[in-house]
Structure 1
Amino acid sequence: MKSRIGALLLAVALGGCGSESDKLAGPNLVKEGAMSVASAAMFWKKKPPAKPVDAEAMARGALELNKGPLILASFETGYTDIFGMVGENGAMRTYNSPGSRAIILRGGMLAGTRGFGFDMMSAETEGTGRLIRARQAGQAKKVLRYLDGLGLERPLPLDCAVATGASTTYPFAGQSWSGQQVVERCTGSGLTITNTFIVSAEGRVVSSRQWVTPQVGYITIQTVRP
């Protein structure tokens, strides 16, 4: 089931603004991104369909029970959960779910996962991260490292292009969130990956849809409490 947040990000992606080059690049990247969906591993496919999740209610409940920073993460497989921050080191934040799965973000960019079976072990995202947080079009390289089916760590070097899109404001969990859409399209080793971000005027990633690994596919992350 596509989450409400994921649908929102794709809807926002249809807009375009910025420089003339951005206006041409942004919609094209978004169109390609909507068509580019990574395949899931067999162990994901064999799981029974997840029950519908009320993300809004889940987020509101977490705000009442927790004091610190929170995110809501939703996978293409239907798995959705709240993750609370358990560690912070500079721009690096580690969030854990109640089931001890972990999502690691560096300045809003996905830098690793733990406990999902085919995890992203690490990521070098400094170049694209600077462009995305600055809401600036440009090109940069990045490297993702993930576990394959044999449990071996595989590097995935990527060439990426960043383009800007429309500004948006939307409600979630009793709050109003605003930002500009930024699209990152990366290619390498026969893969095309398109990540979508909503970035605030202060350069904070408010929400995003980011690729994890070939087996896991994409994850949608919404800030619940910064």
Structure 2
Amino acid sequence: MTEPAKAFVSVARTTLLGTATAAFLAACGADTSQGELSMKIFEVAKDASKDLKPKGDGSPDKKGGQGAANPNVIVAKALKATPGPVALVVRLDTKAVLAMNPVGRNAGYVTWGSATGQGLTFRNGVLANTRGLGEDLMSSRIDRAVSAITSRGNASYRREHVYLDGVGESQSLIVNCTLRRTKTEKVALGAINADAAIMKESCRGDEVVFDNRYWVDGRGRILKSSQWVSQEIGNLAIQNLRL
């Protein structure tokens, strides 16, 4: 595992801000105590994910709330100490935060890994499978989704997700999806600073309904996103700090 992935922060749900269990890249600052650093990491994660978590009406939360520690300070230190791409991933149901970086590439798919063994595989920024999260997305057929999302156009298509049931057998979930371009917004965090079109993907199957959102720049890169994994896990908020 390379240095950018040596981080994992778990935020307890039973406290106001929670307690972090590990520091994010010790090289980020020897003059900062582990507790202070952990709090800064949480603020970064909160800042990165607060407008990705759906509200009751299905639309993203607006930015606001009390002032927090400037996330750019810790992000700048992380980027200085960390070569190559790096991202923060927030599991929205538990507020667990992972720092991840690419650990493998194969035929257009890129796998990102964490120091604690979780893995996310993407195709052009669209989540294709997960490992180590629980009810993992084992595989998927998302070619039409990827093409539509990265080209930033309205579209309709099907997705197929594959999961393991209680006896280890593969079960397919097929959903019908619509993709709509909503508005343009600047994404600025870490080394990312670009205008992006917000693409809203709404999917429905026999027993499941979910929404995904993607901030896609003019080059077709997904700068940040909220992507659904499974009924147990829900959505992950994914904020790239450097691509």
TM-score normalised to structure 2 length = 0.71
- Structure 2 CA distance for partners of 1:3 and 1:155, relative to 1, 3 Å: farther
- Structure 2 CA distance for partners of 1:99 and 1:61, relative to 1, 3 Å: farther
Moved more, 98-107 or 145-154: 145-154
Q: Aligned partner of 1:122: which letter?
A: S
Q: Which residue of 1 aligns with 2:198?
A: 181
Which structure has more relative contact order (CA 8 Å, sep 6+)? It is: 1
- Structure 2 CA distance for partners of 1:197 and 1:123, relative to 1, 3 Å: same
Q: Which residue of 2 aligns with 1:21?
A: none
5 Å-filtered alignment, 1:11-30, equals none
5 Å-filtered alignment, 1:23-38, equals 31-32=57-58
Which of structure 1's runs of 4+ aligned residues deviate more than 6 A?
52-55
Q: Aligned partner of 2:49: which letter?
A: G
Shift of 1:178: 2.2
Q: 2:163 aligns with which of 146, 156, 161?
A: 146
Larger radius of gyration: 2
Shift of 1:222: 1.1
Shift of 1:150: 4.5
Q: Which residue of 1 aligns with 2:85?
A: 69
Moved more, 182-191 or 146-155: 146-155
Instruction: Specify every segment of 5 or more residues in structure 1 that has no aligned partner in the other structure, as ranges.
Output: 14-29, 36-51
Q: Secondary structure at the match of 2:138?
A: strand
TM-score normalised to structure 1 length = 0.76
Q: Which residue of 1 aligns with 2:95?
A: 78
Q: Secondary structure at the match of 1:130?
A: helix
Instruction: Specify every segment of 5 or more residues in structure 2 that has no aligned partner in the other structure, as ranges.
Output: 1-12, 14-44, 62-67
CA distance in 1, matches of 2:85, 2:60: 30
- Structure 2 CA distance for partners of 1:68 and 1:160, relative to 1, 3 Å: same
Q: How many residues align?
A: 193
What's the C-alpha RMSD, in Å, of the aligned pairs?
A: 2.8
Q: Which residue of 1 aligns with 2:137?
A: 120
